[in-house]
Amino acid sequence: LGGEPYVLGVDVGGTKVADGLDTPDGKVLENARAAMKVDGSAEEALQCVFNAIEQVFERSNGRRATSIGIASPGPLDPIRGVVLLAPNLPCWREFPLRDAIQDHYRIPTRLDNDANAAGLAEAAWGAGAGHRSVLYITIGTGIGTAIILNQHVYYGRTGAAGEGGHMTIDHRGEVRCGCGKHGCIEGLAAGPAIAALAKERLKQDPEQGGSLLRAINQSAGSVTEVIVNAAARREPIAEEIVQQVIEYLGIWIGSMIDLLEPDIIVVGGGVGARLAGWFDHLSECAAKWSINPRAREIRIVPAHYGADSGLAGSAALWYCQDKSASEAVRHPS
């Protein structure tokens, strides 16, 4: 084991930093985590990342990390390695996270948003392995997407491609997304949107909805969890709510199939995992909203990586891509 080089993968989140030494097949050897302080100064937050990295270095037993990969919530600029103004990371505005880490440790460092990183890991080692084109979707408190072609992230002209969560589904609707636009799929079908939709619907029908509302208020888990479990027990009102969410997602995915015709669609994230029992129905619905006569053949499958998708993804930035994001979008001048 001694001389082999490893990637130090770092997953920056709103409450913690997780990191580990990753092997070329996507396994994590040493795991560490440190608390993340997002409401202080940029320097304090950076120190949290250093703390997590030091822990892994201390335990590495002579195993060398020759590169560092970082997955962080967006929006961020993977070309310049800069965190822009991520809602989950108020500590960093236009913060050059990649260079701050690279300069500190003098180890080549790559930074990408968590959806791109996780999508790359799924395409290389996870549920999308063996496919040339993978559409990765993560559904949690927001909706993120990544387009992976031949095991490379599709970055677009400046690195801003793949923000599929902000495609408008209902421009006349009242729902306003966190990004400021009306009717984005994120504003309609991410965790908070499902919770709002459910509470609204349950209130309209106190007789049927009352017991579910109480279950939601008493549950330590998410609203989505309660609703999806009730739908699995075939409670009509819960089924109706999930059906509505699946319909929104189906309209959206149908359009993406028309645009991309990917080999496979991988769905991850906390809410995405809960909806896995509905993927067959989702595929049917997406086919209805697509003009592709073979849309139904495109499988929608649950992601392989759960909470550790950022750790695998940050390593995938090195193991799976032979170029950094800035090299990938560099235009001949």
Q: Assess contact for 223 and 258: CB atoms under 8 A.
A: no
Site string for Zn ion, 181-210 (x = CB under 5 A): x--x--------------------------
Could you tell me the two tokens for 99? 């260079």
Give the side-chain half-sphere CA count within 13 A for 57.
Answer: 12
Interface with Zn ion, residue 166, by CB under 5 A? yes
Least separation in angstroms between residue 83's CB and Zn ion is 19
**Is 22 or 163 the residue whose CB approaches Zn ion more closely?**
163
Least separation in angstroms between residue 74's CB and Zn ion is 12
Interface with Zn ion, residue 175, by CB under 5 A? no
Beta bridge partners of 138: 144, 268
Q: Assess contact for 199 and 213: CB atoms under 8 A.
A: yes
Distance CA 183, CA 273 (A): 23
Beta bridge partners of 67: 7
Interface with Zn ion, residue 276, by CB under 5 A? no
Distance CA 65, CA 5 (A): 6
**Is 193 or 295 the residue whose CB approaches Zn ion more closely?**
193
- Amino acid identity of residue 270, one-letter, is G
Size of the site for Zn ion (CB under 5 A): 5
Pick the piece of the chain touching Zn ion (CB under 5 A) from 77-85, 118-126, 163-171, 321-329: 163-171
Cα 219 versus chain centre, distance:
25
Distance CA 115, CA 294 (A): 27
Pick the piece of the chain touching Zn ion (CB under 5 A) from 44-52, 158-166, 208-216, 297-305: 158-166
**Is 21 or 177 the residue whose CB approaches Zn ion more closely?**
177
User: Of these, 29, 161, 179, 329, which contacts Zn ion (CB under 5 A)?
Assistant: 179
Interface with Zn ion, residue 177, by CB under 5 A? yes
Which residues here bind Zn ion, judged by CB under 5 A? 166, 177, 179, 181, 184
